Amino acid sequence: MNKNQLIDAVRDQCDGVPRKTVAEVVDALFDTIQTTVTDGTDVSLTGFGRFTRTERAARTGRNPQTGETIEIAASRVPAFRAGKAFKDQVNGG
């Protein structure tokens, strides 16, 4: 499912709400999650999951083509951890 399909699916569940309004809400939701996690604060949606920012330490890697050792810099990456209700639904429970 891509973003347009998500917007259409949400619109189908909201009687009478224009597609443009649903698209604005979906965009605002994504923007808020991205901004909050970028600032280092977790976004926790009970029953759904938690969006967090994690730290990756610097490490040594290897170029698979040449076998040369390279240094990989430390970085911050977004992460998502599914909540129990979400996991249970996916597992058919």
Has residue 93 got a pLDDT over 80?
A: no
Superfamily, domain 3-87: IHF-like DNA-binding proteins (4.10.520.10)
CB-based contact 79:49 (threshold 8 Å)? no
Total residue length of the chain: 93
Asked if residues 37 and 52 have their Cβ atoms less than 8 Å apart, the reply is yes
Nearest to 47 by CA among 1, 88, 80: 88
pLDDT at 18 over 80: yes
Q: Residue 37: exposed, middle, or buried by beta-carbon count in 10 A (0-12, 13-18, 19+)? A: buried
pLDDT digits (tens, 9 = 90+) for 52-67: 999 999 999 999 999 9
pLDDT above 80 for 11: yes
